[in-house]
Amino acid sequence: MHVGMIGLTGFGKTTRLRERVHSVPRLVAFDPVVTPERPRGQLDLPHRFTDGRACAAFIRARPRPRMLRVALHSADWADFSHVAAACLAAGGDMIVALDELRLLCHQKWNAGDGKGVTAFKAHPWVDWLFSESRNYGIEVFWTAQRPEQVGRICTSQSEVFEVFRVAELSDLDAIRPRFRRADFRAIPHLQKFEFVTNGD
Ligand SMILES: Nc1ncnc2c1ncn2[C@@H]1O[C@H](COP(=O)(O)OP(=O)(O)O)[C@@H](O)[C@H]1O
Ligand SMILES: [Mg+2]
Domains of the chain by start residue, with CATH: 3-197 (3.40.50.300)
pLDDT above 90 as % of the chain? 38
The residue whose CA is least distant from atom 4 of ligand 1 is: 193
How many angstroms from the chain centroid is the CA of residue 179? 20
> Of 27-31, 99-103, 125-129, 179-183, where does the model show the most confidence?
179-183
What are 29-46's pLDDT values in tens digits?
777 777 778 777 788 876
Best residue among 11, 13, 14, 15 to mutate for probing ligand 1, ranked by most atoms within 8 Å of CB? 15
Torsion region of 115: left, alpha or beta (phi above 0 gives left; psi -120 to 50 gives alpha)? alpha
The whole-angstrom separation of Cα 129 and Cα 154 is 9
What are 94-104's pLDDT values in tens digits?
788 899 998 88
Between residues 199 and 22, which one has the greater pLDDT? 199
Indicate which atom in ligand 1 lies nearest the CA of residue 7. 22
The whole-angstrom separation of Cα 127 and Cα 133 is 10
